[in-house]
Chain A
Amino acid sequence: GEQVEQLPSILRVQERSSASINCTYENSASNYFPWYKQEPGENPKLIIDIRSNMERKQIQGLIVLLDKKAKRFSLHITDTQPADSAMYFCAASLNTDKVVFGTGTRLQVSP
């Protein structure tokens, strides 16, 4: 089945710097790649997603890149704020299949 690797597991950055999280997937047919933010005690919430017909997508300070050849995708948070501190999960999915999550990155943004 699909496996999604995610690194790093912990990421500490200073406020206003950028943060990058990288994921790789196995199934070259996967076509949907969402990113979720999960705060303690809360459900995961979608923050940005990208489909396989795109290489780059940006929503405000969030940028996702997709390299289908390398089966790699990444999230870049520009101008981080303490409120960005949370767990972030990448995920990969193929159509109606399950969404497979990465192992998560705990982002800590210090003032």
Chain B
Amino acid sequence: GPKVLQIPSHQIIDMGQMVTLNCDPVSNHLYFYWYKQILGQQMEFLVNFYNGKVMEKSKLFKDQFSVERPDGSYFTLKIQPTALEDSAVYFCASRETGDTEVFFGKGTRLTVV
């Protein structure tokens, strides 16, 4: 079936440094999402993105977070600077239209030390 690819699968970074998480959504999908999951807990919505713009962001989407998808390339989540509490698995997701299935990538495990 359709796959959302996330690169890298693991990332370890020093607190205060910048990190960029990359997502390659399903090719014909138009809506993109980032979710944060701390081990064993629920998937928490961060942001959704459509037509080059952020549509909605949660309070977890701090000022240090930003997203973009330049010219149809990777959909990225950038955290600058990182904090210890940013350690989590970040899942990218995409969907074709507003009411179709949402497909999730395998996640990037971010560890901030």
Contacts and interface: CB of A to CB of B under 8 A. Distances in A.
Contact of B42 (A34, A95, A97, A103): A103
Contact of A96 (B42, B43, B55, B91): B55
Interface stretch (A12-20, A38-46, A61-69, A73-81): A38-46
A51 interface: yes
Interface of A: 1, 31-32, 34, 36, 42-46, 49, 51, 87, 89, 93, 95-104, 106
B108 to A, nearest CB: 11
Given A43-B106, A101-B43, A96 B98 contact: yes
B33 interface: yes
Interface of B: 4, 31, 33, 35, 40-45, 48, 50, 55-56, 58, 91, 93, 97-99, 101-107
Contacts of B101: 34, 46, 49
Contacts of B40: 87, 106
Given A44-B104, A46-B102, A98-B33, A89 B43 contact: yes
B43 A44 contact: yes
A103 B43 CA distance: 8
B85 to A, nearest CB: 19
Contacts of A42: 106
B102 A102 contact: no
A42 B58 CA distance: 24
